[in-house]
Structure formats: C-alpha cells, structure tokens
Structure 1
C-alpha cells in the first residue's frame, strides 16, 4: 500500500513539474513575442573602418573597436550584453500601453525605443563623476578644463546647448531633454612620462602606471590621458568588466581646450558618455541597413565630418548630422533624440544595467 501511495505521489510531482515548466515556457514565449531581438548585433567591422579613418587623417572614436576586443577577451560578454539589451527593450515595452515597439529601429523592425512620446522615464538622474588624470606634468589638465567638461555634459544631457536652436524643422520634434545631471566627485592625478596609452585600458590600472577604477556601480569614471593615433576617446558599454568601466578622453579633447581645435569644446565626452549609456553610433557602424536600435534617428551609411550642410542625404533620407553620436565638429553636434533618451533612461530602471547609479 505504501508503495502505491509513493508512486501516486511521484506521479503528482512529475505532473506538477510538467505544468510548471509548461507555464514557464508559455511565459517565456509571451515575453519573446513582445521583445524582438532579431536585429541585435555586437561585432562590427570597426577595427578596419576606424583604422582606415585614422590612416586618412580623420579623428576617430574607438568605442566599437574596444567592444570587439572585449568580446574576444571575455567569452561570456556577448551573452551578458544580449541580456542587457533584452531587459532594456522589455523595460521600454512595459512602459508602453500596448507593449508594442521593442525590436529594432532603422533596420526594418519596430523598435519603440525611438518613438515619440517618451514612454515615461522621467525621474531625474544625477551621476557623480570621478576624473582620473594621467598627465605628463603636474596640472597639465587644468581645473578650468575639468569644470568646463562637467558643465558641457550638463548642458548636453539637459538640452541646454545653445546651438540646438539651429536644428532643422525635420528633426525639431525629436530633440530630447534627457534630464541626466553630472556632479564632480573626485579628481585623481598621476604624472607619467608615457607619451601615449592606446586603447587597451592600460590607463585604468595603477599596476601599469595608470589609475584604478573607483566603484563603477556608484560613479562614472573618466580617464584623461594622451591616447594617441588620432583617437578622440572611447567608452565601455554596459556589461563589460567592472575594473575598466568608464570613459577615456584624449587630453586635448577634454573640456574647453584650445589645443583640441574644432574638437576642443567638450563634446567628445558627451559622445563617449552616450556610448557608456548604451547608445551606438548614428550610422550603426555599418551600411544603410545596419541599425543603432533607435527609430527616430534616420539610417546612414557612415559618419559625417566637419559641419555638413542640411540636408546631407544618405540611404534616401537626410542624415541627422547634428546628433551627438555622429563624428562632426563639436560646435556642429547639439542633440540627442527622444529614442536615444529612452534607451539611456531605461538603464536606470530597477534591474537595469546602470540602475545603481540612480539609487535603484
């Protein structure tokens, strides 16, 4: 009799487990139906593209090159970044009344990550900044530079760039006030005679003559040093190693600095912090069908330089050359879009990759 009872109990457990698994599978299927990841990509041809640009004398951002390197060095990073993107799109979908719009943007999907109106990420976010300076002589990077850089970040992420008044009417409805503020917390300095640091994160380690990261779950770390190779800066996307999390800016291109010329007005940091907050380049680091996962940024087939006239047409649409995630001169970039704002702000939601910086 006892054997019969035990057998029946075992069958009941198997049935219950089966039902539970069916329920989980149904739930996952429902979630998958709401979050279209078909367009998501990580690896790009940036290694070749950026090398070619530098070789031709053009300035460059090496964030995508850095991403390729980190993906090669960290086997689990690809899955981690996929999960971050999935959760970001799910958070955006949850804010929308019908749950629609959470796949890709320019490349043929229906990403609500770029739709207007913003789905409701409106709480103000204040990010404390640690500036790590590796300089060739004491006070090479002045206090004025540091303060001006924080001021520029606050202008740009709160739609206070005076040049925004020149936005073409085609894009005027897409201009975003991101409501993200930056406060200077600490300045760390070390003097080094090293002439250039490259993009392999050596400046982020005291063991290599640089400065170790300060708790990246609480602070945005910015390293300022001579990068070399015509590189303005680079950033680490959410999900990368905590020991190297942050942004690197070339000394001449940090803050208001005459030595930086047309790139000497602090917008390199705005661009790189955009990457740090999960924004891709405006052209998606590919051709017309390569996506930046934002719907209200038109597709393009490559970066723009200088101060392009409007309209500059690629991929049968006018490029948003004035976007902070293009490569134009500092004075000629002056907007984030509502869709880019949505992507950035979703990171600060509970469970988001940058949530700890907003106290979530």
Structure 2
C-alpha cells in the first residue's frame, strides 16, 4: 500500500503544479494585452470638488455630497505606494475589458477554449455586508434603516429602481443590470459620545474609539456615524489598506431615513459603494478632458445637483444626470451603465482586487 501511495502523491503534486502554471499563464496572457494608460490620474483638486463646483452646490442648497476624492488625496500623500497599486488595478481592469471586447469583435460565437484568457467576471456576485454603527442617540439607526439600505442597494445594482423608466431614450441601451446582490452578514453597535468623526478613518479603528473592520477580503464593511462638514459619505478605492477598506455613511443618510430629506433614500450608499467598486465620479473630477474611464458615459466638467432637466449640456454632450455617480437628489439618480458594470466586474476576475469575494 505504501508503494502505491507515494507515486499517487507525486502525481497529485505534479497535476497541482501544472494547474497553477496554467492559471499563472492565463493571468500573464491577460496582462500582456496592451492598453493606453496615458489618461490615468489619481490626484484631483484639494477639495472633494473644485471651488467652483462647491460654490455651485451651495447655491443649489446642496451639501458636499461625497468626500471620497478628498480622502484619496490625503491617503496618496501618506502612502507612497498607493498610486502604483491603483495604477496596477486600473491597468488590469482595462486589460480585462479589452479582452472582453476582443472576444466580441467578430460577432460570432467562438469555439470552446479549454484555456481562455480571463476577461471580466461574468457570474452572479454576492457581497456579504457588515454594518458597523457608532451609536449617537440624536441620530438613531434602527433595524428598519439597515434592512431598507440593503434593499436599496439590491434595487440599484440589479436594475430594479422603479425610477429607471425615466431614463432618456439616448441612454436606454446603456442601462446595466449589474447582477450584484448584497446580503446582511452582521451588525456591530458601539456607543459613541462623538458628535462628528470627520474623514480620518478613526471610526474604523477600535484604538480610536471606532469599530475594527471585519475581514475586508470577504465582507463589505459599512460604518454609520456622524461625519460632519456637510459630507454625506465617503469610500476607500480598491488598493488601499485592508484595515480601513469599506464605506462610511452619515447617520441621517443611511437607508430610508426621513432625517436625510432629499438625500434620505439610501443612494449615498449606492454612490459610495460604486467608488468601493472602482467607479469615479461621472464628470471625472476635472474639466472636459478628464474622464471617468468609462466609454459609455458622456463627458462632463462638473457635478449636477437637485433634479436637473433633460437635456443638461456640458462639454458639448448631454449629461447623464441620472447616473448614481453624479450628485443629484436621491430620487433623481437611477442607473449604472454597461461600461461602469464592466469596471466593477473586473475587480472580481482572476487577479482582481476583490477576487476573494467570488472564490
């Protein structure tokens, strides 16, 4: 029996080695696809929006909706390796999207490929969510708030938002069903005497009075607290430190919440989870030549506020004001595009920054 066991063990190790080499080769083949990275950027204006945009927002009665870009600028200065990691993630994303386009270019069904080059992840995606609440008696978060927020995320990432029927005809073919399902996996609560937490990630660290993240390689962590400064929420882009990976939402803007007013219908989480899944603001946080890296979103040079009329024109194109990555009121945003969906799904493919969620 011992004589038979040893050759079988050797054969098993050999086959495992061959499988690993095959997987490594597939990733290498994807990485060999040439893509243009000349437009890549990470730093934006020092504030979350340019001074002109902030002024315009205040004139429209808007808060500074998203703090993600301001937080990113700070992290880039503190961590010299972050820019390169984000560059690598972006390059991998573009290579996978290019591989998908290459397969579709002939319009014919390809012959079965026993060793295909990876493209974006095409299966259903389920994301377990941990909700970490820094409890403030003046801004309570109930189970109803939590349940409604999970429901809203599932509506928005599965093309079930009832307002999507209002998408203008020129954008109809771009509307995406992202096929991403969010499942509540746990709730952590901690009493807090802080009236504002700011954007320094202290709410994510027990050593600073917050709540530590639960395994960010397998769970989306949401922190709910009073942020302050007129910021509704912010997210960490892929490539950042695991200890702080996730999304922060202001207490009044979490789930269906009457305290949030026009921003009280759960779309702050939809927007910020979009950043967590590697989406930029739809206007690219710059002028007309700075892009969001998505081919089917029109160019723009500023965010939109309130519920703007259609068409609203910037950079000589009609703005997609109803996109979740703009700054309009919650009930006036109701679509992702197929291009945005490709970007998000690239994270879950082989070698992607969030591959652990689908392994």
Category of TM-score, reference length = shorter chain: 0.7 to 0.9
1:140 Cα deviation (Å)? 1.4
Alignment correspondent of 2:88: 83
Alignment correspondent of 2:166: 166
1:31 Cα deviation (Å)? 5.9
Alignment correspondent of 1:178: 178
Alignment correspondent of 1:58: 62
Alignment correspondent of 1:264: 264
Aligned residues: 314
> Is the contact between residue 135 and residue 191 of structure 1 (CA under 8 Å) also seen in structure 2?
yes
1:99 Cα deviation (Å)? 9.0
Alignment correspondent of 2:298: 298
Alignment correspondent of 1:283: 283
> Is the contact between residue 120 and residue 348 of structure 2 (CA under 8 Å) also seen in structure 1?
no
Over the aligned positions, Cα root-mean-square deviation in angstroms equals 2.1
Deviations 1:28-72 (A, max 9, x none): 999677211111000011527367728935322010111101101
Alignment correspondent of 1:71: 76
Q: Distance in 2 between matches of 1:33 and 1:217?
A: 27
State the TM-score, normalizing by the size of structure 2: 0.83
Deviations 1:136-175 (A, max 9, x none): 1399100000000000000000000000001000100100
3-state SS of 2:252 partner: helix
Alignment correspondent of 1:189: 189
Alignment correspondent of 2:136: 136
Deviations 1:69-104 (A, max 9, x none): 11011111111111111111111222222698xxxx
> Is the contact between residue 93 and residue 99 of structure 1 (CA under 8 Å) also seen in structure 2?
no
> Is the contact between residue 233 and residue 249 of structure 2 (CA under 8 Å) also seen in structure 1?
yes
Matches within 5 A, 1:176-325: 176-325=176-325
Residue 101 of structure 2: which of 92, 96, 102 is its match?
A: 96
Q: Which deviates more from structure 2 when the two are superposed, residues 210-219 or residues 37-46? A: 37-46
Gaps of 5+ in 2: 1-27, 106-118
Note closer, same or farther for the CA distance 1:297–1:135 as it changes in structure 2 (3 Å cut). same
Alignment correspondent of 2:332: 332
3-state SS of 1:147 partner: helix
State the TM-score, normalizing by the size of structure 1: 0.83
Note closer, same or farther for the CA distance 1:213–1:62 as it changes in structure 2 (3 Å cut). same
Q: Distance in 1 between matches of 2:263 and 2:207?
A: 31
3-state SS of 1:130 partner: strand
Q: Distance in 2 between matches of 1:139 and 1:47?
A: 27
> Is the contact between residue 46 and residue 285 of structure 1 (CA under 8 Å) also seen in structure 2?
no
Q: Distance in 1 between matches of 2:29 and 2:158?
A: 38
Q: Distance in 1 between matches of 2:343 and 2:177?
A: 13
Gaps of 5+ in 1: 1-27, 101-118
> Is the contact between residue 88 and residue 346 of structure 1 (CA under 8 Å) also seen in structure 2?
yes
> Is the contact between residue 267 and residue 324 of structure 1 (CA under 8 Å) also seen in structure 2?
yes
Q: Distance in 2 between matches of 1:94 and 1:164?
A: 30
